[in-house]
Amino acid sequence: MIKFDNVSVSFTNKKGQIVDAVKNVSFNVNDGEILGIVGTSGAGKSTLLRTVNQLQLPTGGHTIVDGKDIGSLSGKSLAKFRHSIGMIFQQFNLVSTQTVAQNVAFAMEIAGHSKEEIKRRVPELLSLVGLSDRADVYPSTLSGGQKQRVAIARAVANNPKILLCDEATSALDPETTNDVLQLLEVINIKFGITIVLITHEFDVVKKICHRVAVMNKGELVEIGDVFDVFTKPQHEFTKTLLSHTFDLDLPGRLTEDKSKPLVKIIYNGEKAENAIVSNVVKLYDVDVNILHGKIEYINDKPFGILIVQLIGKQDDIYNSLDYLSNNTYRTEVINERD
């Protein structure tokens, strides 16, 4: 669907220095998937995303959509191409002087749809995003989540093949974020629209993305299935980005007590569904004291972290650790004796 072929973008900043916002990025976005691009701010995600609809021209390489090199489009052919790409933004970017219905209609007018067709389709779109009752109000009276819903209705008004989301949930509270993400998922499934979303929050990616690309300082550092990247991050930067998920905070008195080993167990996939902890208790004469833990489900696959204290005789503890290492994704003792 979308092919980034060695894409680079550099700017000259105000001081006259050349800044490489995107450096030689190559990867593909598959038809019908939801792909997340994550990275810290300034990683070049936004710039890369904007090469898809030529809001930004690559200074090197090509962005190819449906076999067409976007950089070669201009004038009418560019305008026509843009009708087939929807885009939503962090700040919603609704036209404040148009009502909700007019905002949605605006996109269709631009694409040259007839008045009758616009009149028929706008209510459909508003009902899709659950805002039928707000058709005639101005955006300033809406909440952030509602504004983003209008923006989504506007973005999909012309039946685009691709929807670009530029930090679409970053200005929303967690609950509204979930609603908007669910709506995006519905749109992806119902209309088969390919979605590329960029975010600095891995949580967003975990919720709806099929695949994820990680960017750092303008470069693509990793791309893959969300579950794989999340559970087996290859690159240092990805590990740092994910560190908050792996670090469970324990009170100091527990980590300082070196007499009983504290074990962090990370398990994923099918292994997560085995009763590993109770097996340890049955097989070896140890007590397992669960101190902290959480399980995440990514694309319906479980991924869990447990911190447990093993209490028992030295030999039994060694054997238990062996068993855990062999039967989980990763096991580490976090209060190693000096």
Partner 1 sequence: MNETNYSELLNNLLPAFGETLEMCGIALLLAVVLGTPLGVLSYITSKHSICQNRVVNLIVGFFINVIMSTPFVILLVLLLPFTRFVVGTSIGPEAASVPLGIVAIAFYARLVEGNLHAIDKGVIEASLAMGATWFRIVTNVLLPGAFSGMIRGLTVLAVTLVGYSAMAGIVGGGGVGDLAIRFGYYRYQTDIMIITVLLLIILVQIIQTIGEKASRKVQK
Q: Which residues form the interface with partner 1 (CB under 8 A)?
A: 53, 55, 78-83, 85, 87, 89, 91, 93-98, 106-107, 109-111, 138, 140, 151, 154, 158, 164
Instruction: Return the percent helix, strand and coil in the chain, to nearest 5.
Output: 40, 30, 30
- Tell me how far, at minimum, the Cβ of 114 lies from partner 1, in Å: 17
Give the shortest CB-163-to-partner 1 separation in angstroms: 11
Give me the count of residues in the chain. Answer: 338
Choose between 154 and 206: whose C-beta lies nearer to partner 1.
154
Residues 6+ apart with CB under 8 A from 73: 54, 81
Q: 194 or 231, CB closer to partner 1?
A: 194
Measured distance CA(212)–CA(197) in Å, rounded: 9
Please report which residue ranges of 209-313 form alpha helices under DSSP H.
226-231, 236-246, 252-256, 276-283
> Whole-number minimum distance, CB 97 to partner 1, in Å?
4
- Residue 26 or 141: which CB sits closer to partner 1? 141
Element of type H or E holding 323? helix 314-327
Q: Which is nearer to partner 1, 125 or 151 (CB)?
A: 151
Q: Measured between alpha carbons, how far is residue 334 from residues 4, 17, 204, 255 in Å? A: 42, 46, 29, 8
Give min distance, CB of 95 to partner 1, in A.
6
Nearer to partner 1, 18 or 275 (CB): 18
Minimum CB distance to partner 1 smaller for 191 or for 323: 191
DSSP 163-209: EEEESTTTTS-HHHHHHHHHHHHHHHHHH--EEEEEES-HHHHHHH-
CA diameter of the chain: 80
CB of 139 to partner 1, least distance (A): 8
Structure tokens at 293: 């833990």
Q: Report the residue number, 196 or 298, with the smaller CB distance to partner 1.
A: 196
Q: Are 230 and 242 in contact (CB under 8 A)?
A: yes
Q: Is 88 left (phi over 0), alpha (psi -120 to 50) or beta?
A: beta
Q: Which is nearer to partner 1, 11 or 297 (CB)?
A: 11
The CB-of-327 to partner 1 minimum distance in angstroms stands at 50
Least Å distance, CB 184 to partner 1, is 17
Residue whose pair of structure tokens reads 């609704």 in the numeric block: 94
Report the nearest approach of partner 1 to the CB of residue 321 (Å).
55
Q: What are the φ and ψ backbone dihedral angles of 249, each rounded to 5 degrees? A: -80, 130
Q: How far apart are CA 139 and CA 146, in angstroms?
A: 9
